[in-house]
Amino acid sequence: MLVGIAVTGAALAAATFVSRGSATTGPVPYVVVRVTLTDSRVVLDRNVVKNVGFVAFRIRNTGKLKHNFVIENVHSPVVTPKHTEHFLVTFADEGKYVYRVTLNAKPGMRGVLKVIAPIPGD
């Protein structure tokens, strides 16, 4: 199961202080994956994430067309040219997750993110 949500930068910063379980545990570990969208490619700065509760995708559109980012049917907001959106996704299961662009997409605007040992949230 995947859960996705679009957030503002302030909400992303606040998310680092959300703890799971009792007050003695630390914040839920997460990683930021930087996604660059052009009008012909989608590039992630990493293709493997490990030991995280969620992934914060920072999606930057450097192209001239509007695009989106989809991972396993969870959609980001539309990213307009020269703008950035933040998108949080929780991965409950280890595995390979297909990502792609569906808005103004060219062939090949897809790939695979490998999730290793995700940490389930409460």
Q: 45: which residues sit within 8 A by CB, 6+ positions away?
A: 33, 34, 35, 36
pLDDT tens for each residue of 71-86? 988 999 999 999 999 9
The listed CATH number (2.60.40.420, 2.60.120.10, 3.40.50.300, 3.30.1360.70) that belongs to domain 2-13+26-116: 2.60.40.420
pTM of the predicted model, to two decimals?
0.79
Which segment of 26-30, 49-53, 72-76, 82-86 scores lowest on mean pLDDT?
26-30
Which segment of 2-6, 25-29, 33-37, 39-43 scores lowest on mean pLDDT?
2-6
Token pair of 110 as six digits = 């897809």
Band (pLDDT 50/70/90 cuts) for residue 9 is very low
